[in-house]
Amino acid sequence: MSKRPEFLENSMIIGAHPDDELLWFNSILRHADEVVIVFKDFWAQPHIGAARAAAIADYPRDRVTCLDIAESGAHGCADWSNPEESEFGLTLGLEANRRELTRFARISLSKVAAYPPGNIATASVARAYSANFKLIGEALRPRLSRQMNVFTHNPWGEYGHEEHVQVFRVLQRLREEIGFKLWMSNYCTNRALPLAMRYFESCPGSHLRLETDKPFADEVAATYKKHGCWTWADDWAWFDDECFMEAPREGADSASHQHLFPLNFFTIDDTRSRKWVPLALSVSVASAAIGVAISETI
């Protein structure tokens, strides 16, 4: 990028997790005025927060900061075959209940020293997810102004990440309040496509197409790998370019015909093993945990 384009004047990239700013915005990562990362700690990975802080301190550009908000652990909890939006981002379903069952079981086991208390979430996924919506908004509001160009996740969360969707929805609300220009990324997977298709009207808005900065992307990725907090595939290949489009406004009506703007479409392996209930968990404890899960997610 030989000349700084006008849309990067007074610009900010806001990514949910450390390395999101690299994966979805690397074409502008070197040139944006400021980079803000939302989440740092995650109870399921007790050492990840310190590793992320070290990577940010060692970042190969200045003005990269973190809001230090803890992850809710909501990834994978929405029904992506038929996603339902909520005031906090997306509605969390049975997966959140199962995780609450695990959390309650761990609390029970920690009381008899059978499970380390440091690896237990302090609140249910549903409660943490809803609380984070307010925390993110309060932390970002004083950093934003009407004259800014803000780049963030798209409303389907790139590959279908509930916390990416939440960050987008927070900024969508703040745009109505403050008036800045909000741009979204163009990455998508088949998992997220049902939600993505709801966001395009008959005539797509104009979009920006920029060449990716692969050398700088490799440098930033190496920094995350050095500090042990790279979360993406080691064999990930950067796209040749990225597109950014002004984000849709909340409550905008969809037209009868839909037209996608250019997408960087990819697939990921979404299979993972889960051990939700320890083998030693008794039927009575499991029953009690299910009751808590239901009451905390209604």
What is the pLDDT, as a whole number, of residue 52?
A: 98
169 to 15, 148, 189: CA distances (angstroms) = 13, 17, 19
Q: What whole-number distance in Å separates Cα of residue 281 and Cα of residue 275?
A: 12
Report which secondary-structure segment, H or E, holds 215. helix 214-226
pTM: 0.84
Report which secondary-structure segment, H or E, holds 174. helix 162-178
pLDDT tens-digit profile, the chain (298 residues): 556 778 999 999 999 999 999 999 999 999 999 999 999 999 888 899 999 999 999 999 999 999 999 999 999 999 999 999 999 999 999 887 677 666 655 655 566 565 565 566 666 899 999 999 999 999 999 999 999 999 999 999 999 999 999 999 999 999 999 999 999 999 999 999 999 988 875 455 678 999 999 999 999 999 999 999 999 999 999 999 999 999 988 766 655 555 667 899 999 876 543 333 332 333 333 333 333 333 343 3
What is the pLDDT, as a whole number, of residue 181?
A: 97
What is the pLDDT, as a whole number, of residue 8?
A: 94
Structure tokens at 132: 């984070």
Q: What whole-number distance in Å separates Cα of residue 238 and Cα of residue 23?
A: 8
Contacts of 137-140 with CB under 8 Å at 24 or more apart are 137/170, 137/173, 137/174, 139/38, 139/67, 139/69, 140/14, 140/36, 140/67, 140/170, 140/171, 140/174
